[in-house]
Structure 1
């Protein structure tokens, strides 16, 4: 969802037609291609640098929060999502005095604003969550005594409890998808990593036995032993150290996140695979590791989840409806021979007597 950027001024070179972008007339230039994360972040920096702020307002809180080292250390995709929300928030609440946030009615005003976007509940929740994080910063700095939108609840409540790729889904995708996207699926299924981390993965991070990476979202460092199948595939395809393992079909270029998403969605459509996403391959990997008898500690070492998160996934999100776990449990029970013999069997009459 692209948001309108207030104050964006476009100037075109009359001879070449080249477009140049500025914040306001005579304001700082904004570099990058419109619609990209780089452009959005440069726009926001230009907006802040132009002095669009008033002390003692919500706008001031939003700007100061974005200047913090903690905000700047966030993953680019996370910053982009926050900035998109900030642009929307400041249109409605930018001039609101900080003093007004102490009014007990402020929470109701913000919740009503969130509810007005209920047609897109996930986006509505993201907008309010962004405001809440910014206001937490104001509390930390002593500008507010409390956050009026702390723990607001959510409009968007979607569980992916039963969203794992079936063998039929995997077979259908492999049967119709192009080779470079089948490699993406195999990497995700054999490593349990997020899309963004896999798209950035270079050949230098694979030494013929292990894949080493630092997850961008959490900062977790993981060392993943490659399965025999994955090793055979990667060893056959190995490229220059600085090249990404996953590349576009044309030109062997690294993927952009938007480009990969578009190609992946088309491949899913062509394969007739519905109801699951690329991210669900992460949960599918957890499921398969658990079915194979791996402990939560072993799973977390591979996927980068915390132990508590692995247990939560196994308990709530992916495995409750997976019959393979139930089959595995009964098989282990039968093999253990710990159940006493019932003495039943043979021909039993309807009254329960032989």
Structure 2
């Protein structure tokens, strides 16, 4: 059917569906066939500003509520759930009243770009909406995921680097107490700082420690390095957690750990290398020793071998380049 055969404000859209579209009025689908009495009645109501939208209940607010009640969400690690919740609150606030089954790829991109001043959060919006759309597909609300394939924003910052050996040695020479303990725990176990600060004395067994990663929920046993073992032998047990401090054994906070480590980093000129970079350093050291991705993963507990390969790539490139150049001698 052509537009000429239709009355004013009525248009044919994708799939041959008819919509009433007039400036200042919400677009409405017309269900009746043109030329029928039902169509005339429906058109008259729309023309007079009577909204006949169909309440489907498939809003983002309803979708978020359903997702939070799902096994998919409940099985997430505590830290991941907390990160997702920040975005889910944003979705409810900004998109809650909108129909989740009508979202298009352009809408996801618009939401990402509107938050481009905080790149990490903007990228999280894309990732969480992608998950929400998968949940909507599972519920039968839609057939495709508009967030799938939407690219993430680049931060423009240099990629995180592993600590050079000279800075590792400089840190050890300069640091003492908890600043050295936190450093050796991060480097010796290859774990994230949050998991390091949660490590307890009663989790130590057979020359290593049992770790439950907060982000992945994975449990693994990591043996101590000689350097870490030496520091632990000199560390007083003042609380349940290894990094506890004070006569009451208070756990060390992330901010407290970051600040004490930063003081040493400034003294040795290592401001460009952070606590998470020590996780890279562990993988790099193991790669330099010829460890496979599987062996590195056994220590760091990375969920995917692809991430292990990324961490170890720089050191492996150096090793291969050295081998190649030796052939030229």
Query: Which bracket does the TM-score occupy, shorter chain normalised?
Result: 0.7 to 0.9
Q: 2:177 aligns with which of 168, 176, 179?
A: 179
Partners of 1:249 and 1:151 lie apart in 2 by: 50
Tell me which residue corresponds to 1:76. 78
Q: TM-score, normalised by structure 2?
A: 0.72
Partners of 1:99 and 1:167 lie apart in 2 by: 53
Alignment of 1:39-118 (within 5 A): 55-101=57-103, 106-118=104-116
Partners of 1:108 and 1:200 lie apart in 2 by: 42
Kept in 2, the 8 Å contact 1:139–1:146? The answer is yes
Question: CA deviation digits over 1:180-203, x for unaligned, max 9?
Answer: 021111111111111121111111
Question: CA deviation digits over 1:235-291, x for unaligned, max 9?
Answer: 343638x71112246743112334434444455345532222211111111111121
Tell me which residue corresponds to 1:273. 270
Tell me which residue corresponds to 1:166. 164
SS in 1 for 2:220: strand
Tell me which residue corresponds to 2:187. 189
| 146-155 or 269-278, larger mean C-alpha shift | 269-278
Partners of 1:272 and 1:250 lie apart in 2 by: 33
Cα–Cα, structure 1 residues 214 and 161, in superposed 2: closer, same or farther, change >3 Å?
Answer: same
Kept in 1, the 8 Å contact 2:288–2:316? The answer is no
Alignment of 1:109-258 (within 5 A): 109-157=107-155, 163-237=161-235, 239=237, 243-248=240-245, 251-258=248-255
Question: CA deviation digits over 1:100-144, x for unaligned, max 9?
Answer: 33xxxx321231221122222222111222222112111112112
Kept in 2, the 8 Å contact 1:208–1:231? The answer is no
Partners of 2:58 and 2:83 lie apart in 1 by: 25
Q: How much has 1:313 moved relative to structure 2?
A: 3.0
Tell me which residue corresponds to 2:43. none
Question: CA deviation digits over 1:25-75, x for unaligned, max 9?
Answer: xxxxxxxxxxxxxxxxxxxxxxxxxxxxx9321110011111123312322
Partners of 2:131 and 2:181 lie apart in 1 by: 38
Cα–Cα, structure 1 residues 62 and 190, in superposed 2: closer, same or farther, change >3 Å?
Answer: same
Question: CA deviation digits over 1:132-191, x for unaligned, max 9?
Answer: 211211111211211222221011356865611113332443354451021111111111
Partners of 1:135 and 1:266 lie apart in 2 by: 45
Whichever of the two has the greater Rg, that structure is 2
Is 1:289 matched up with 2:277? no
Partners of 2:244 and 2:268 lie apart in 1 by: 20
Give the RMSD, CA atoms, in angstroms.
3.0
Q: Which runs of 5+ in 1 are unaligned?
A: 1-53, 343-354
Q: TM-score, normalised by structure 1?
A: 0.67
Tell me which residue corresponds to 2:26. none
Cα–Cα, structure 1 residues 186 and 110, in superposed 2: closer, same or farther, change >3 Å?
Answer: same
Q: How much has 1:84 moved relative to structure 2?
A: 1.2
Q: Which runs of 5+ in 2 are unaligned?
A: 1-55
SS in 2 for 1:319: helix
Question: CA deviation digits over 1:294-347, x for unaligned, max 9?
Answer: 3333222222234444334323xx4266x56755x47xx97xxxx79x9xxxxx
Partners of 1:131 and 1:275 lie apart in 2 by: 33
Kept in 1, the 8 Å contact 2:183–2:261? The answer is no
